[in-house]
Amino acid sequence: MEYPWEKWTVFLHPAQRHYVERQYNGPARISGSAGTGKTIVALHRAVFLARQNPEAQILLTTFSQTLAIALRLKLKRLIGNEPNIFSRIQVHSIKGLAQRLYQEQFESPNIIEAKTLNSKLTHIASQTDHPFSLSFLWGEWKDVVDPWQITTWDAYQSVPRLGRKTRLGSKQREILWSIFAQLIQDLHQSQAITWNRVFSTLADHLSTQKTSPFEFAIADESQDLGIAELKFLAALGQARPDSLFFTGDLGQRIFQQPFSWKSLGVKIQGRSHSLKINYRTSHQIRLAADRLLPERITDVDGNPEDRSHTISVFNGPIPRIKICADEAAEIQFVSEWLSHCLKADIKAEEIGVFVRNESLTDRAISAIEKIGLSALALHQTDPYGDESLDNSIIVSPMHLAKGLEFRAVVAMACDDEVIPLQERIETISDEADLEEVYNTERHLLYVACTRARDLLLVCGIDPASEFLDDLAYVEKSAQTQTQHR
């Protein structure tokens, strides 16, 4: 705990060195709850492979450009003045890498935006007699047809619709395919492609090549890899020993439907390990956040991730759960809490404030400005490339919180109908899909809470999110124990 914050963010616990330096005969995955050092293991693994293989090119990838920049910054801290090592470890967001490789091999991809694609699907569906809701059609496209790159009726008849709760008969699939076939034809005629098409095309191309652009690929935040993205990474690895290394946490999956890695040739059985030492998050914060998730989560291939025996190496204050009467009261309470953090020698840039979505960031910014500080909105800027980060508090939607870490965190505006988000619940066309919505909404709050190392405040206005009851249980239990002493 006496380490400077910069060194703390790249510190490898001695118990985890084995996973960094071990040889693997196939793809390997390191899991663990938030704060157990998965990203640090990925960083050290990249450096280890670069030193062991002096001529090798190593890929270190993650799901967003913001996280890729953060990884590159940590890599510089870890390596120091070793340009030969740093130059051979390429850090990219997975989409950024795919776009670059696609342009090198083919042409600049004309990638269609999801909003435009949804509009096209809506228009085509309006011209067809069918019983399906627009939300169901969009879900079927983005979770089944596009990820698996289905282009024929025969393929759609037989594709496993894993993660889609509604069963479909042959006649229903036939109606659906008549809609999707028109959308595929529209994309072809306009020479537009989806991200899944980019990844799938690259995977097919790489599978015909004798060599790969990278000898080793390491993917952080792998729980949110999609089908086509994993297929692309598998093609990069070309089934070589040590070529694929994944780190992630199923409890932080918020973007992708679950699917079988094994079906794509990425078999991690016997090479899947869980980290059990949490050295980023205090015992009290970890205990509270873990109540949002089940103790054991199993992936589609039967690989379990068990967080029940995870331990934290340090203690801290009990997370504060606060339900306020209205927005003004919440803003006042948060501003006072932030002032307390600053008086405790926590720097402004070591504080993060998270809200469910972008529309709520003004509430967070108001609390920050109330104490005379500036807020840096993560969805509008790059915090890792902005010199104005000093004396600024980061404000971010929860879905951008992944991979970030702060000494103090506020999860703000956790109101009823905000988390879980009522808009998502209202678009559900099948009751069976409700479980998936609740799971990913819990994952979002879990991700936000576990960005904190020392101090955590979770707040909202009355009536508050039902999820706060789980978090408040830890606070109430601690208060009861104190009263009985």
Distance CA 409, CA 302 (A): 34
* Residue 37, annotated as binding a ligand: yes
* Residue 151, annotated as binding a ligand: no
Helices then strands, counting H and E runs in the chain, come out as 18, 16
Residue 171, number of CB atoms within 10 A of its CB:
8
CA of 144: how far to CAs of 199, 372, 434, 479, in Å? Answer: 15, 49, 18, 48
Provide the CB-side half-sphere exposure for 422 (13 A, CA): 8
Query: Which residues neighbour 70 within 8 Å (Cβ) at sequence distance 6 or greater?
Result: 384, 403, 404
CA dihedral 6, 10, 11, 15 (to 10 degrees): 160
Distance CA 135, CA 187 (A): 20
CA of 96: how far to CAs of 27, 107, 195, 237, 433, in Å? Answer: 23, 15, 11, 18, 31
* Residue 34, annotated as binding a ligand: yes
- The type of residue at 170 is S
The closest of 206, 253, 213 to 234, measured between CA atoms, is: 206
Element (H, E) at 202: helix 195-206
Provide the CB-side half-sphere exposure for 402 (13 A, CA): 26
Query: Which residues neighbour 482 within 8 Å (Cβ) at sequence distance 6 or greater?
Result: none
**Cα 232 from chain centroid (whole Å):** 18
Please say whether the beta carbons of 164 and 144 come within 8 A. yes
* Residue 152, annotated as binding a ligand: no
* Residue 450, annotated as binding a ligand: no
Pairing of strands 304-306, 296-298: antiparallel
Distance CA 455, CA 347 (A): 13
Please say whether the beta carbons of 378 and 66 come within 8 A. yes
* Residue 33, annotated as binding a ligand: yes
Please say whether the beta carbons of 38 and 277 come within 8 A. no
Which residue is associated with the tokens 């071990």? Answer: 22
Under the phi-then-psi rule, with left for phi > 0, alpha for psi from -120 to 50, and beta for the rest, what region is 298?
Answer: beta
- Binding-site entries for ATP: 32-39
- Binding-site entries: 32-39
